[in-house]
Amino acid sequence: MGVLKAKPVLSRCKHVASGHLAHGARRITSPGPGLAARAGFGMERQPLAAIVSVHRGRRGGRVLWYIKAGGDPFLTVPQLWDMLRELRLRGVKNLTEVIVDRSIFGNVTINPGDFDNAGDRPYNASPDAMMVGLGASRLVFQPDTQARKWIAIIDPPLPGVRVQGEVEWSTATCPGSPVVGTQIQPEAGGMVVRVSGKAAASCGEFSVYRLVHSQTEFFDKLFRSLWRDLGGTLARDIKAGRVPARAQAITWHDSQSLSDLIRLINKQSNNVMARTILLTVGAEMNGPGATVATGERAVMNVLGRQGVNTAGWTVDNGSGLSRNARVTAGGMADMLKVAWRSNWMPEYISSFAISGVDGTRKAVYCRHDGQ
């Protein structure tokens, strides 16, 4: 088997984290690559369907609105906007109170700064059942050639967030992606993003992504902003709760298929997406309230049934961003054999980044001798 006989690349060359490879293989060889998730306003959970749904219900004579989070690892801001637009098209304008049901997962929130004290970096993002846009804000830097300065814009433009400082203008030849320093600091009524660094004008417009809010705060502010832009009103608040059994589903959004999600995770080495899928596996096999422990138990059971020797393995969080995750060479070989012989092998193999072409290896050129 060509995959197993490949000559090892020296460690100085960048590689895809083994945690992502293992997680992708164990997921795609279990239920199949066509599964999707749904999110929406009010609906019962469907098997591994990251479905966000919007529901309408009543309590004490009042109409309440519910959002059932489905654990979609890649729900985007435009997709949430489109779902809310569908709600407006159905004549809904005035929301009394919005209740978000994240019960598909248990308490899975982490401190983004725990791993390397870089709590504003998207690769450290906490998983969340109602994650939108990976929970990250985009800082767009536009060149003003007349004033010879960079203009910073934050997207989405959430209330209470402002940018301070500046990136120095340079006339040098663009050396590659500009490096911008950021500090996220709370202030009365909002957040300040302080920027610093230097960027060559010849680089043109560029963007960096940062975690400005927690996942719940980001969703709360984003929902309010999008709903207001669509002409809607919110009388009370957004809070946590459960969708009642009799709530009526009004609109929803299905996630991408599993094979497409794994392609994004492996090619881009996306940690928070990998974490989220581990939790979704736990919810699918052990029921709602999934945690890292139930996810690890679920994937170990799947691998065991497939004949993979997982002795000595520690999944930890499902991503490669871990100081505790462990995998043995023999177990990895077993897993790759199972993946290679699976009906879904082409989907898995196509998820790998290609050196010099795409993903995290697009700019990497390493020979097998490490030079």
Domain map of the chain by residue range?
Answer: 2-34+258-361, 38-109+216-254, 137-210
Residue type, 171: T
Q: Specify which residues 95 forms β-bridges with.
A: 234
- Measure Cα distances from 73 to 113, 117, 259, 305, 340 in Å: 20, 24, 13, 26, 25
Q: What is the mean pLDDT of residues 95-101?
A: 93
Instruction: Give the tokens for residue 70.
Output: 């489905």
pLDDT bin (cut points 50, 70, 90) of residue 32 is low
pLDDT tens, position by position, 121-163: 999 999 999 999 999 999 999 999 999 999 999 999 999 999 9
The CATH H-level superfamily of 2-34+258-361 is DD-peptidase/beta-lactamase superfamily (3.40.710.10)
pLDDT tens, position by position, 169-216: 999 999 988 999 999 999 988 999 999 999 999 999 999 999 999 999
**Cis (ω within 30 of 0) for the bond into 156?**
yes
pLDDT bin (cut points 50, 70, 90) of residue 70 is very high
pLDDT, residue 30, reads: 52
pLDDT, residue 78, reads: 96
pLDDT, residue 355, reads: 80
Q: Strand, coil or helix: what is 183? A: strand
Cα-flanking dihedrals φ and ψ of residue 195, to 5°?
-115, 155
E strands along the chain, which residues?
38-40, 51-59, 62-68, 94-95, 98-101, 137-144, 149-155, 161-165, 168-170, 179-187, 190-200, 206-210, 233-234, 238-240, 248-254
Cα-flanking dihedrals φ and ψ of residue 127, to 5°?
-70, 155
Per-residue pLDDT for 7 more than 70? no
> Domain 38-109+216-254's class?
alpha beta
pLDDT bin (cut points 50, 70, 90) of residue 368 is very low
- Top mean pLDDT of 127-131, 268-272, 325-329, 362-366 is at 127-131
